[in-house]
């Protein structure tokens, strides 16, 4: 018998916009007993073109909302920019374990790469932080990072169908960016065999990337990697050791998610602006209707 | 002899980002006796994808900064989105005359168009406001508006040289947007002969637009139109009557700008984020170095 008195723990998922819904989608499928609260800080997006100080302030306010107002007991920062520039600030702002997407992305690149040379594409701010370079280097990988600021607006415009004139524009933008990356790799005598999609919007362009990369190059989705890391944290195997750069969950939290009687997954979505746009675009990322999105004012 | 005790009046120019520097550029050239304070609300850009409520709050805070902190006696809202959605809110927030770009843009379209059917391209929020449609209709024009959200990031990425592969992408994006506009014009039996660039970023793509529009179609730059309107307000001719939708300046303000002894133009630029990026990109819009940009915190 299920016990309705025992509430399943809430996992908080945060992004500056909608892209992080791809992480939420993977978590829902694999952790059906958990409750979820998703916040998109849509009034202040994009983070990718802003400074570290501003990103840290916005992301900390968002994290506090999920923990203090929504009771989240574990946070996934499903935003590469916030993970790259503000993970420390978020950890200081809240008292629950926090997982970003950079370490899982670097770990997945390490697992996929034979040559140990990897390419990373991301927003301006993520690239300038060199967070992927640092996380890669800690694993013995070399990384070249490149900012691709046109890809987020192309995804939000819906220009993702390769058979259309609009999708052909996106394919050409990807070709130009990858050619610039390849030239830089050559100049540094790199031999890359993995490409990290370091922004949660980019997985929607996956088929265009697959058509554009050289044969044999593996494509790593940092959002998917973070979801898989989170699932491993909740499904520890015997003899499991801590993953580099990842938080440790309390035994009680893991048990409450793992052992809680199955119940309908409960998702609450919040946005700081334009809930209509969130409801419209969000379903594209979540792969199902996002339902009612609640407007929240973080004072920004 | 000039009298250093009499300070020239300060004109405040506001944009969500850098694009409004094209308006400032035109004003500096034509009103050399005025002082200028420019604010780019770069921490919260872009406004074009946000809701009316949020845009009104951000723009009002920005306007109050220019008037209350910098002593501006006249404001030019050099941002189509803020002009379209927040001009009333700004006028309520400050006690000085305020000029937006929508009315001057519609007026210039009226002057240029023979058929009285015009096309308007702008951001999502500007288009959804239907401000250009309303301002056009008040002049007996019919307007079709279209959001072109990819053009701002293309300009900010610097993909504006038509002889490069990157510029060819921008040309193709413009071709797709204009083809969609032409199809809509046909469907409504419009016969447009003017295209309003309803975003201060778009004038940097002027040569690409000139190559893409049908022969005989006039291109209207709303930023340039607003600057010309502001200059007319400061240079009234005898028998001059109030321009529709434009504020009235006090005789004393006009005289103080007009009669003040010439002095080196003084420009102070402020941004809410990333002054380095402002200094780097701003010069492209201003046509000269922007100088030191001061960081300001509007609490957002």
Catalytic member of B79, B148, B246, B269: B79
In this predicted structure, the answer to whether residue B257 has a pLDDT above a threshold of 70 is: yes
Residue B162 to residue B171: CA distance in whole angstroms = 7
Per the domain annotation, does A4 fall within a domain?
Answer: no
In this predicted structure, the answer to whether residue B168 has a pLDDT above a threshold of 80 is: yes
In this predicted structure, the answer to whether residue A39 has a pLDDT above a threshold of 90 is: yes
Which structure tokens are listed for A155? 């995804």
Which structure tokens are listed for A77? 């920062």
Other CB atoms within a 10 A radius of the CB of residue B179 amount to 12
Per the domain annotation, does B3 fall within a domain?
Answer: no
Residue ending a domain, choose from A192, A223, A254: A223
Average pLDDT, chain A: 90
CB proximity A172 to B under 8 Å: yes
Q: Is B12 exposed, middle or buried (0-12, 13-18, 19+ CB in 10 A)?
A: buried
Instruction: Point out the residue among B42, B149, B156 whose CB comes nearest to the CB of A157.
Output: B149
Per the domain annotation, does A2 fall within a domain?
Answer: no
Measured CA to CA in angstroms, residue B228 lies from B28, B104, B106, B135, B238 at distances of 12, 8, 13, 18, 17
Do the Cβ atoms of B150 and A149 come within 8 Å? no
CB proximity A298 to B under 8 Å: no
- The per-residue pLDDT for range B127-137, each reduced to its tens digit, is 999 999 999 99
Residue ending a domain, choose from A223, A238, A265: A223
CA-based nearest residue in chain B for residue A57:
B300
Q: A66 CA to chain B: closest CA distance, Å? A: 19
pLDDT at position B265 is 63
Q: Are A246 and A99 in contact (CB under 8 A)?
A: yes
Question: What's the total number of domains in chain B?
Answer: 2
Q: A70 CA to chain B: closest CA distance, Å? A: 22
The H-assigned helical ranges of chain A are: 21-30, 52-64, 80-93, 102-112, 124-129, 131-137, 151-156, 165-187, 206-212, 222-234, 251-259, 275-286
A50-64, A242-256, A281-295, B256-270: which has the highest mean pLDDT? A50-64
Does A233 lie in the same domain as A97? yes
Q: Are B47 and B125 in contact (CB under 8 A)?
A: yes
Q: Which pLDDT band holds residue A240 (cuts at 50, 70, 90)?
A: low
Instruction: Point out the residue among A150, A166, A299 whose CB comes nearest to the CB of B154.
Output: A150
A33-47, A91-105, A164-178, A275-289: least confidently modelled range: A275-289
pLDDT > 90 fraction of chain A, expressed in percent and rounded: 67
CB proximity B130 to A under 8 Å: no
Q: Taking residues B181-204, report their average pLDDT.
A: 96
Q: Are A150 and A175 in contact (CB under 8 A)?
A: no
Average pLDDT, chain B: 90
Distance of CA A23 to the CA centre of its chain: 6
Test the A interface: residue of B274, B281, B298 with most A CBs within 10 Å: B274
Does B211 lie in the same domain as B116? yes
pLDDT at position B1 is 40
pLDDT at position B264 is 66
Q: B133 CA to chain A: closest CA distance, Å? A: 22
CB proximity B183 to A under 8 Å: no
In this predicted structure, the answer to whether residue A166 has a pLDDT above a threshold of 50 is: yes
CA-based nearest residue in chain B for residue A148:
B157
Q: Are A123 and A153 in contact (CB under 8 A)?
A: no
CA-based nearest residue in chain A for residue B164:
A176
pLDDT at position B270 is 95
Does A206 lie in the same domain as A239? no
Q: Which pLDDT band holds residue A255 (cuts at 50, 70, 90)?
A: confident
Q: Taking residues B174-189, report their average pLDDT.
A: 97
pLDDT at position B263 is 64
Do the Cβ atoms of B49 and A299 come within 8 Å? no
In this predicted structure, the answer to whether residue B66 has a pLDDT above a threshold of 90 is: yes
Residue ending a domain, choose from A205, A223, A241: A223
Q: How large is the angle between the packed helices B80-93 and B102-112, nearest 10 degrees?
A: 130
Q: A45 CA to chain B: closest CA distance, Å? A: 7
Per the domain annotation, does A3 fall within a domain?
Answer: no
Which structure tokens are listed for A201? 């919007």
Measured CA to CA in angstroms, residue B239 lies from A57, A72, B249 at distances of 54, 67, 15
Distance of CA A200 to the CA centre of its chain: 5
In this predicted structure, the answer to whether residue B149 has a pLDDT above a threshold of 50 is: yes
pLDDT at position A239 is 62
**How many Å is the maximal CA-CA distance in chain A?**
64
pLDDT at position A273 is 86
Count the helices and strands in chain A (H runs, E runs). 12, 10
Of B79, B264, A89, A93, nearest in space to B90 by CA: B79
In this predicted structure, the answer to whether residue B180 has a pLDDT above a threshold of 60 is: yes
Which structure tokens are listed for A69? 């107002």
Which are the contacts of B26, defined by CB distance < 8 A and separation ≥ 6?
A: B223, B224, B227, B228, B231
pLDDT at position A2 is 43
In this predicted structure, the answer to whether residue A297 has a pLDDT above a threshold of 70 is: yes
How many Cα atoms are found within 13 Å in the side-chain-facing hemisphere of B53? 10
pLDDT at position A280 is 80
Per the domain annotation, does B267 fall within a domain?
Answer: yes
Per the domain annotation, does A97 fall within a domain?
Answer: yes
- The per-residue pLDDT for range A111-127, each reduced to its tens digit, is 999 999 999 999 988 99
Residue entry with tokens 């973070």: A226
- The per-residue pLDDT for range B268-291, each reduced to its tens digit, is 999 998 788 788 888 888 888 888
CB proximity A44 to B under 8 Å: yes
Q: Are A30 and A231 in contact (CB under 8 A)?
A: yes
Does A107 lie in the same domain as A80? no
Residue B76 to residue B98: CA distance in whole angstroms = 6
For residue A47, the 8-state DSSP code is G
Residue entry with tokens 């694999």: A30
Q: How many CB pairs under 8 A join A and B?
A: 67
Instruction: Point out the residue among A44, A168, A277 whose CB comes nearest to the CB of B44.
Output: A44
Q: A4 CA to chain B: closest CA distance, Å? A: 39
Domain that holds residue B22: 10-101+224-295
Q: Taking residues A241-256, report their average pLDDT.
A: 82
Is this prediction's pTM over 0.80? yes
Does B125 lie in the same domain as B195? yes
Q: B206 CA to chain A: closest CA distance, Å? A: 20
**Is the peptide bond preceding residue A29 cis, with omega within 30 degrees of 0?**
no
**CATH number, domain containing residue A75:** 3.40.50.1860
Does B279 lie in the same domain as B172? no
Chain B residues in contact with A43 by the CB 8 A cut-off are 44, 50, 54
Residue B154 to residue B170: CA distance in whole angstroms = 7
CB proximity A219 to B under 8 Å: no
pLDDT at position B219 is 98
Q: Which positions of A are catalytic?
A: 79, 199
Chain B residues in contact with A176 by the CB 8 A cut-off are 165-166, 169
- The per-residue pLDDT for range B5-42, each reduced to its tens digit, is 567 899 999 999 888 998 998 898 888 889 999 999 98
Instruction: Report CA dihedral (A164, A172, B285, B30) to the nearest 10 degrees.
Output: -50
CB proximity B154 to A under 8 Å: yes
CB proximity A150 to B under 8 Å: yes
pLDDT at position B101 is 96
Does B238 lie in the same domain as B146? no
Of B81, B166, B44, B19, nearest in space to A149 by CA: B166
Per the domain annotation, does B1 fall within a domain?
Answer: no
Does A86 lie in the same domain as A115? no
Of B85, B73, B12, nearest in space to B46 by CA: B85
Chain B residues in contact with A51 by the CB 8 A cut-off are 273-274
Q: A94 CA to chain B: closest CA distance, Å? A: 21
- The per-residue pLDDT for range B82-110, each reduced to its tens digit, is 999 999 999 999 999 999 999 999 999 99
**A78: helix, coil or strand?**
coil
Residue B178 to residue B186: CA distance in whole angstroms = 12
At CB < 8 A and 24+ separation, what contacts does A185-191 make?
A: A185/A117, A185/A119, A185/A144, A188/A144, A190/A117, A190/A142, A190/A144, A191/A115, A191/A117
A22-36, A118-132, B252-266: least confidently modelled range: B252-266
CB proximity B295 to A under 8 Å: no
Do the Cβ atoms of A273 and B50 come within 8 Å? yes
Do the Cβ atoms of B172 and A173 come within 8 Å? no
Does B165 lie in the same domain as B213? yes
Chain A residues in contact with B150 by the CB 8 A cut-off are 150, 153-154, 157, 159
Q: Which pLDDT band holds residue A1 (cuts at 50, 70, 90)?
A: very low
Instruction: Point out the residue among B153, B172, B274 whose CB comes nearest to the CB of A169.
Output: B172
State the SS3 of chain B.
CCCCCCCCCEEEEEECCCCCHHHHHHHHHHCCCCEEEEEECCCCCCHHHCCHHHHHHHHHHHHHHHHHHCCEEEEEECCHHHHHHHHHHHHHHCCCCEECCHHHHHHHHHHHCCCCEEEEEECHHHHHHCHHHHHHHCCCCEEEEEECCCHHHHHHCCCCCCCCHHHHHHHHHHHHHHHHHHHHHHHCCCCCCEEEEECCCHHHHHHHHHHHCCCCCEEEEHHHHHHHHHHHHHCCCCCCCCCCCCCCCCHHHHHHHHHCCCCCCEEEEEECCCHHHHHHHHHHHHCCCCCCEEECCCCC
Does B216 lie in the same domain as B118? yes
Q: Are A45 and A300 in contact (CB under 8 A)?
A: no
CB proximity A295 to B under 8 Å: no
CA-based nearest residue in chain A for residue B274:
A51
Chain B residues in contact with A273 by the CB 8 A cut-off are 50-51, 54
Per the domain annotation, does B5 fall within a domain?
Answer: no
Does A185 lie in the same domain as A108? yes
Chain B residues in contact with A55 by the CB 8 A cut-off are none
Chain A residues in contact with B299 by the CB 8 A cut-off are 299
**Is the peptide bond preceding residue B46 cis, with omega within 30 degrees of 0?**
yes
Does B183 lie in the same domain as B36? no
């Amino acid at each position: 018998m299920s016990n309705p008195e025992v509430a399943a723990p809430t996992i908080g998922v945060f992004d500056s916009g909608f892209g992080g819904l791809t992480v939420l989608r993977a978590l829902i499928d694999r952790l059906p007993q958990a409750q979820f609260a998703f916040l998109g800080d849509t009034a202040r997006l994009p983070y990718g073109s802003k400074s570290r100080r501003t990103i840290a302030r916005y992301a900390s306010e968002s994290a506090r909302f999920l923990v203090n107002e929504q009771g989240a007991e574990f946070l996934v920062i499903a935003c590469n920019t916030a993970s790259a520039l503000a993970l420390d600030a978020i950890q200081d702002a809240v008292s629950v374990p926090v997982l970003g997407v950079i370490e899982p992305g670097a770990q997945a690149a390490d697992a996929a790469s034979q040559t140990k040379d990897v390419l990373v594409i991301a927003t301006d701010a993520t690239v300038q932080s060199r967070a992927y370079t640092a996380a890669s280097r800690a694993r013995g990988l070399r990384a070249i990072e490149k900012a691709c600021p046109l890809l987020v607006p192309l995804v939000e415009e819906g220009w993702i169908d390769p058979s259309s004139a609009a999708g052909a524009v996106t394919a050409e933008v990807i070709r130009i960016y990858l050619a610039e990356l390849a030239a830089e790799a050559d100049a540094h005598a790199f031999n890359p065999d993995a490409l990290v999609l370091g922004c949660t919007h980019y997985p929607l362009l996956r088929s265009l990337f697959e058509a554009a990369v050289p044969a044999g190059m593996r494509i790593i989705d940092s959002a998917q990697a973070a979801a898989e890391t989170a699932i491993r944290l909740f499904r520890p195997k015997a003899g499991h050791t801590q993953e580099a750069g990842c938080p440790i969950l309390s035994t009680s939290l893991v048990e409450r998610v793992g052992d809680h009687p199955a119940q309908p997954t409960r998702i609450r979505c919040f946005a700081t602006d334009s809930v209509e746009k969130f409801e419209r675009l969000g379903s594209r990322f979540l792969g199902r209707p996002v339902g009612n999105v609640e407007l929240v004012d973080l004072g920004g």
